[in-house]
Structure 1
Amino acid sequence: MTGSSKPGNSDTADRPKDVVGWMSAQWEAQHGPGARQYGTAMALLRTHQQVVTVIDAVLGRLRLSRNAYLIPTSLQMSEGRNRSMG
């Protein structure tokens, strides 16, 4: 890729403003296989990033890590409120 084709550069008039749209357009321009599936995968990964960012911000205010929250939560939701170690 050249410097002008990277997201965040000043020449945004010819491509979508969102990263997922930009990545999908680049993939299609390079004739990558499964452009629709690629775009879907990128959208899911971007959504995951956004969700994790919000969760980490909320847990950070409580001084908890994701693991410190998820372990007791998964135990609470499990049958008998316990998990086998094997």
Structure 2
Amino acid sequence: MQNVDIWSEEFGAATDEPILLVMGSMSQGVLWPDEFVGRLTAGGRRVVRYDHRDTGRSGTVDFEKEPYTWEDIKDDVLRVMDAHGLD
């Protein structure tokens, strides 16, 4: 597994029920509309959105030299959850 930086951001109170927004592959997390995120937070949700590796503000990997798998993508999700203290 490569050590790649994954960009994420959080909205709402840390005590609110969390929602992790996962965008489709090769799409940035900021494509979740701010209005949608705002409605979720206004409804008492803690919202986290992020960019997949090789997308947006997250780090890149030389896929030819170090190919990654869907397991690595899944592990990235778990890393984002851990970074925000989500179960």
Could you say which structure has the greater relative contact order, defined with CA pairs below 8 angstroms and 6 or more residues apart? Answer: 2
Q: Same fold (TM over 0.5)?
A: no
Q: Which protein is richer in strand relative to its size?
A: 2
User: Which structure has greater helix proportion?
Assistant: 1
Greater C-alpha Rg: 1
* TM-score of the superposed pair, with normalisation by structure 2: 0.29
TM-score, normalised to structure 1, is: 0.30
